[in-house]
Amino acid sequence: MNYDECHTVKTICGPHASCHNTAGGFFCLCHTGFAQLSGKTNFTGYGAGCQDVDECLQQPCGPHGVCINAEGTFLCSHMTPPMTSHLQTTLSPFVHCLSNLLKDQSIIDNCFTKRLQQPPADQFCSLINSTLAFARRMCEQKGEYRQKSASVTLKDVTSFGNKFVADGSGVESATVFLGAMENFATLAALASPTQELKAISSAHLDLDVRVIDVTNRRFLAHERLTLRAKNDTLDIYMKTVTEEQQTGASVVVFLSYTDLRSLQRGEFVTEGQPQSHLLTSSVVSVVIGNRRHRQLRDGVNITLSHTSQTQGSLSDWRIFCVYWNHSPSSSHWSPEGCEVIQSNGTHTTCGCQHLSSFALLIATSKVTPPANRLQHHGILPNPAPIQNVLQLRYRMV
């Protein structure tokens, strides 16, 4: 009878490796994104395990891309050409890391590189200082910008975000914060996909994260995920998260913020004209890791809870599902790409065709509301029931 070492000794291959039984023996294979230091493709050393491969050394993101290594995978972002100052040679990799996390090279040029020469007298730079400092922490792992960010956990990201919201901010600094938080949470999740966290509740911010091992999963055509943060819910197809990815890990992050007061004062623009409005939900963000674009082939459902002061009083008002549209010239709420699927006195479900930060607005003059739409351009039908209790969950799917 053959002795099955793989079944008997669960840890025989060590971390980041799979065991394969053979007649009279066994061998181990490293998971995608990991390898043996010796370069062997298979091995039999008990508990030897595999190390993370730094894919960024092969420049997979192209000449104008920024690569950040994460455990078992990597992130790419395409941005403006690097700065041309005398700091380029020594700081370029680190500066690119910061630019990737904050999504704007000009912020780094004005608020980081200039500070190395002389402190900038800039109110905007002061407002984003805490966000920039956290981005530096993500990039400064033992002085090497490509080191894994496992020391910065999702709990750290949540704590930072909660403090930022509690301290208050302006519209532009909140815009930078929203984009940065998407990258902070994504990178922290991918850097250590098997970390275990206790359930976390934050006064001003909650998030739900799913890391999907694409290598070892096969998905049904209409398999879906449901993520919950605060009293808000995201329904998304598994294939939307993984797309054509065949190996490695992918991640979807759902964040919900309360009391982002600066965005409550943000302008609402529809059909090219500013409109009077009232923000009547939390602000939520949806991000899929390792994605190079935000347009979705299949849409997502986002069910938002109405704020307490408007619950039960919206039947005579026009409700808009909107996203935060940021551009160098202006930032404002826009309904483009999102529609109301269904609504009642406490919740509204939005169908959206792209990823961003979303909220509900109501017009401040009464209009005749449209009939509720049950489906929209590939949006998930029959949204999942609303849950009123949230805890942060972090699990491998």
- Summarised one tens digit per residue, pLDDT across range 34-56 is 888 777 778 887 777 788 777 77
Which range has the worst mean pLDDT, 30-39, 115-124, 158-167, 231-240? Answer: 115-124
Give the burial class of 358: count Cβ atoms within 10 A of its Cβ; 0-12 exposed, 13-18 middle, 19 or more buried. Answer: buried
pLDDT above 70 for 2: no
Spatial CA neighbour of 394 closest among 224, 207, 168: 207
Rounded CA-CA distance 84/252 in Å is: 35
Phi, psi of 353, deg, nearest 5: -105, 10
Percent of the chain whose predicted confidence (pLDDT) is above 90: 19
**Per-residue pLDDT, 397:** 47
Q: Is the pLDDT of residue 195 over 90?
A: no
What one-character DSSP code corresponds to residue 110?
Answer: I
Q: What pLDDT does residue 76 have?
A: 65
Which band of pLDDT confidence, cut at 50, 70 and 90, is reported for residue 347? very high
**pLDDT higher for 383 or 337?**
337
321 phi, psi to nearest 5 deg = -90, 125
pLDDT band at residue 91 under the 50/70/90 scheme: low
Residue predicted with more confidence, 139 or 203: 203
137: confidence class by pLDDT, cuts 50, 70, 90 = confident
Q: What's the rounded Cα separation, in Å, for the pair 367 and 136?
A: 48
Give helix 129-139 / helix 88-102 axis angle, nearest 10°.
110
Residue 164: pLDDT over 90 = yes
What distances in angstroms separate CA 52 from CA 28, 31, 48, 69, one per listed residue? 16, 9, 13, 9
361 sits in the region (left: phi over 0; alpha: psi -120 to 50; else beta) called beta
- CATH 2.10.25.10 location in the chain: 5-53
Q: What is the pTM of this model?
A: 0.70
Could you give the residue range(s) of every CATH 2.60.220.50 domain in the chain? 198-396
Which one, of 101, 98, 99, 251, lies nearest residue 189 by Cα?
Answer: 251
Instruction: Please state, for a pLDDT cut of 70, what percent of the chain lies above it.
Output: 68
Neighbours of 393 (CB within 10 A): 15
Class of domain 198-396: mainly beta
Which amino acid would we find at residue 208?
Answer: D
User: What is the sign of the dihedral through the CA atoms of 332, 336, 337 and 341?
Assistant: positive
Query: How would residue 229 be classed by pLDDT, with cut points 50, 70 and 90?
Result: very high
Between the alpha carbon of residue 243 and those of residues 222, 233, 249, 314, the distances in Å are: 13, 21, 12, 37
Average pLDDT score over residue span 343-366: 84
The amino acid that residue 92 corresponds to is S
- Which pLDDT tens digit goes with each residue over 243-271? 767 677 788 899 999 888 888 878 888 87
Query: How many Å apart are CA 183 and CA 102, to the nearest integer?
Result: 8
pLDDT at residue 331 in the model: 86
Residue 317's contacts (CB-CB under 8 Å, 6 or more residues apart) are: 362, 363, 366, 367, 369
The CATH architecture to which 5-53 belongs is: Ribbon (2.10)
d(CA 241, CA 221) in angstroms, rounded, equals 12
Residues 6+ apart with CB under 8 A from 4: 21, 26
- For the ranges 92-101, 194-203, 306-315, the one whose mean pLDDT is highest: 92-101
Q: How many CA atoms lie within 13 A of 344 on its CB side?
A: 5
Q: How many CB atoms lie within 10 A of CB 21?
A: 15
Give the per-residue pLDDT at 342.
93
3-state secondary structure of 152: coil
Averaged pLDDT for residues 262-284: 86
Phi, psi of 120 (to 5 degrees): -75, 135
Q: How far, in Å, are 108, 109, 270 from residue 116 at the CA level?
A: 11, 10, 42
The rounded mean pLDDT for the chain is: 75
Q: Please report, for residues 18, 173, 310, the alpha-carbon distance to residue 218 in angstroms, rounded to integers and kept in the order given.
A: 17, 41, 43
